[in-house]
Structure 1
Amino acid sequence: MRLSFLQPLLDHPGPWATVYFDPGQADESGAKRRELSVRDVCRTLEQQGADEATTEAVRADLTGLSPAQDPAGRVLFATGGEVVLSHRLSRRPQSPSASWAPLPRLAPLLELSGQDPVCLVAYIDRTGADFQLREAVGRPQDSGHVEGEQWPVHRTATSDWSERHFQLKVENTWEHNAAQIAEALAAAHEESGADVVVLVGDPRERRSVHDKLPEEVRAVTVETEHGGRAAGSDSAALEEAIENARQECLRRRIEQTLDRFRAGRVGTDRPTDAVEGVPAVVDAARQHRIDTLLVRPGGPDLHQEMWAGPEPDQVAVRRTDAEALGDGSPVPVRADDALLRSAAATSADVLIIPFEEVSDDIPAGGLGALLRWSYEPTAA
């Protein structure tokens, strides 16, 4: 999960109001419950010390939320009397939550915004293809189409020698169109940055397209027998196949990342490529060496207190580390929020490690990192 969308948060010093909000149902009773929830959120912010201007900015934004447009809700980040960022959630929060703290409350965003892989679906027939992008939130987006030669594309039933010649032309058309589809699909994959590609439609043509894709695209491509290019061919089975492809992509990525993490931890007979625990991860964050931040929800280190200065790389385990914290007054913060802010600032990736994916306690304490280059960690 990339946190580049959090960039606006890095330009404001805080403190921050963070609100995770579910607008509920789009009916009269839902509207009443929504109104009461908005009041509760604003009251909580006031009790925690939020200023009036910021509380009113939050109130205005929450009042304008629409269940139709944001069925799973939104997270708001506000400071200085304005909502700096409003981000759509892909999963409903269990209940509205509000906090007023020195840093934005980022950790819940990982699970509520999701790390579902971006999926590029190609609906293929023997004359062309339509491409559709499926992201974690929002409706499927049109991602282009390609049309190949339209004639000849249909075989005949006769065995006459002239008809056999015609059938050869048909197969040549299919192959030509498959090559065009593969080229266009590779371009759409590069432009979208999709994590997985799903081929839907004519069995022969999608197999030919698959074989003609560049190796790096073919490696993340799967086929499904469900659905097709024709209007009305979508089905529950197709949606299930697409979702299975996305989840298999995510499981594979987690497994590969954990394999790299296990191999790179301190204690191997080569330079360190991975670290775990708050002191080591803080040290890596301070030096902009985190390539992938690993977060295991429920780990005890996530809510450990540490210290942060105004800049994302001004982090330390102890307040006395004045050089690391800069000239400003350091503030006590949660480890997960400070390290996620640092990851957003340095374009590091973030990967949630679900509890069921690991049999051993890794990363230790719930926080770890793969590094951009090997080094020997220093004391934090």
Structure 2
Amino acid sequence: MDLAFLTPLLDRTGPWASVHLDTSRATEDAARRRALIDRAAVQRLADAGADGPTCAAVREHLAGMPAAGSPPGRALFAADGEVVLDVPLADSPPDVAATWAPLPHTGPLLGLLDDAVPACLVAAVDRTGADLRRYELGRGEPLGTVEGPQWQGRGHRAPPADRYEWHYRHRVEDTWERTAGIVAEHLARSWPHSGAHLLVLTGGTRERRAVHDRLPPQLQDVAVELDGEPTGDAFDRRLAEAWADHRGRHVAELLDAFRTGVGRPGGHRTDGDGTETAPGSAAQGIPAVVSAARQHQLAALLLQAGGHDPERPVWTGPEPEHLGVDRADLRRMGVRHPVQAPAADALLRAATACAAEAVLVPEAVPGPPGGLGAVLRWPA
């Protein structure tokens, strides 16, 4: 999971109000039920010690939510009398959870967002160009079109049946190849600003494959091809299946890198692609992962539901790199008033600050011991 959406939480020192609640309106008594849930959330914040202005900000934010089109759930993070971040959730939390703590309680987000299809950039490709849409939470937003070079009716005129037929077909083929290159180049330029985590190519098999082959390697890694029109329930199902498959492969690759990186010191292993990875390029357990996070070494933070390490407390300070397994660690960093927080919350803050990703390892898959590990940017 790309943690960039948590960046607004880095600008304040807290304490933080964190609320995870059901905001769906699918039932007949939804309005009354929502009012009770909202009231319970604010009351639980107050009971936890949240200040009046922050409770009021959460209350007003919940009251201002639209009556229609709300996502199944939301996670709110507020501090200093202001709601700093509102995260729509694809699934409803099972209960109202409200905390008042030194750090935002972001740990539950992995479980609530992990199965959800992230924001996608969808390109419906044909021989004339592509129609682009940003797709999120089941809704598509048009982003315009990309058009290739125009020539003789955009390539749809019937070719002449004379000795110039080969030349005609060659020019049509050349125009199509140029169009695929133009679309791929536009997608590469647009991707960093799209806020998407998956690139979806639809349209004819040959056309979308031509675009895929012209994408830069880093974009090919997050691109999938789907049949059919990018609308309706059938597309939603295919997209969910494609995301699950893509995510599964990515988790498997990270776990392989993790297991390789924590191998026997002095040993080496050659991966399937021929690259040799030295042990020391991964960390497991709270002391090792905390040390890596403190030095901005995290490439991917691995958390597994059911593990005990993510919930264990660590010591933290005002900055994301203020991390330690005991109070003395923070004192040595010059932190005058260290506080404790769950390891998951503190490490997610550190991972956000160093642009690392976070991955929830399925319970059925052998993961890091204790439920906490990391793949590092460089060997420890």
Normalization by structure 2: what TM-score?
Answer: 0.85
Task: Output the CA distance in 1 between the equivalents of 2:215 and 2:225.
Answer: 13
Q: Which letter does structure 2 place at the counterpart of 1:123?
A: A
Match of 2:273 in 1: none
User: How far has the Cα of 1:98 moved from its partner?
Assistant: 0.8
Letter in 2 for 1:156: A
CA distances 1:215-255 after superposition (whole Å, capped 9, x unpaired): 5544554433322xxxxx74443333333322222111111
Q: Is the 8 A contact 2:15 2:79 kept in 1?
A: yes
Measure how far apart 1:322 and its partner are.
Answer: 4.6
Aligned letter for 1:267? R
Between the aligned residues of both structures, percent identity stands at 44
| Inter-CA distance 324–343: structure 2 relative to 1 (3 Å threshold) | farther
2:133 paired residue number: 132
In the alignment, the residues of structure 2 paired with residue 52 and residue 368 of structure 1 have an alpha-carbon distance, to the nearest angstrom, of 38
- Structure 1 gap ranges (5+): 228-232, 376-380
CA distance change for structure 1 residues 7 and 125 in 2, over 3 Å: closer, same or farther? closer
The answer to whether the Cα contact below 8 Å between 1:77 and 1:84 also exists between their aligned partners in 2 is yes
State the match for 1:378 in structure 2: none
- Please identify, of 163-172 and 97-106, the stretch whose mean Cα deviation from structure 2 is larger: 163-172
Asked whether the 8 Å contact 2:44–2:98 carries over to 1, the reply is yes
Cα displacement string for residues 314-364 of structure 1 (whole angstroms, at most 9, x for unaligned residues): 2222234353463322223211111112222232221221223x2x3x211
Once the two structures are TM-superposed, the CA of residue 256 in structure 1 deviates from its matched residue by 0.9
- CA contact 1:54–1:78 (8 Å) conserved in 2: yes
Task: Using the TM superposition, give the Cα deviation of residue 2 of structure 1 relative to its aligned residue in structure 2, in angstroms.
Answer: 2.9
SS of aligned partner of 2:77: strand
Q: Tell me, yes or no, if the aligned pair for 1:300 and 1:366 is still in contact at 8 Å.
A: yes
Deviates more, 1:79-88 or 1:104-113: 79-88
Of the structure 1 ranges 291-300 and 155-164, higher mean CA displacement relative to structure 2 is found in 155-164
Give per-residue Cα distances to partners, 1:35-71, cap 9 Å, x unaligned: 1112212221222222222222221112222352432
- In the alignment, the residues of structure 2 paired with residue 223 and residue 4 of structure 1 have an alpha-carbon distance, to the nearest angstrom, of 25
Residue 269 (structure 2) aligns with? none
Letter in 2 for 1:321: D
CA contact (8 A) 1:17 1:77 kept: yes
- Tell me how large the CA RMSD over aligned residues is: 2.8
2:362 is equivalent to residue 365 of structure 1? no
Counterpart of 1:251, as a letter, is: G
Equivalences for 1:15-30 in 2 at 5 Å?
15-25=15-25, 29-30=29-30
Q: Which moved more, 1:280-289 or 1:3-12?
A: 3-12
How many residues align? The count is 366
Residue-by-residue CA offset, 1:80-120 (whole Å, 9 max, x unaligned)? 33223222223221222111222211101222234745533
Give unmatched runs, 5+ long, in structure 2: 267-277
User: Which residue matches 1:237?
Assistant: 234
TM normalised by structure 1 equals: 0.85
Deviations 1:123-179 (A, max 9, x none): 1222221122334x4733334422221524235387444556544444444334334
- Please report how far the alpha carbon of residue 194 of structure 1 lies from its aligned counterpart in structure 2 after TM superposition: 5.1
Q: Which SS does the other structure have where 2:61 is aligned? A: helix
Query: Does structure 2 conserve the Cα–Cα contact (< 8 Å) formed by 1:134 and 1:140?
Result: yes
Post-superposition shift, 1:283? 1.6
Aligned to 1:329: 337
CA distance in structure 2 between the partners assigned to 1:336 and 1:190 by the alignment: 27
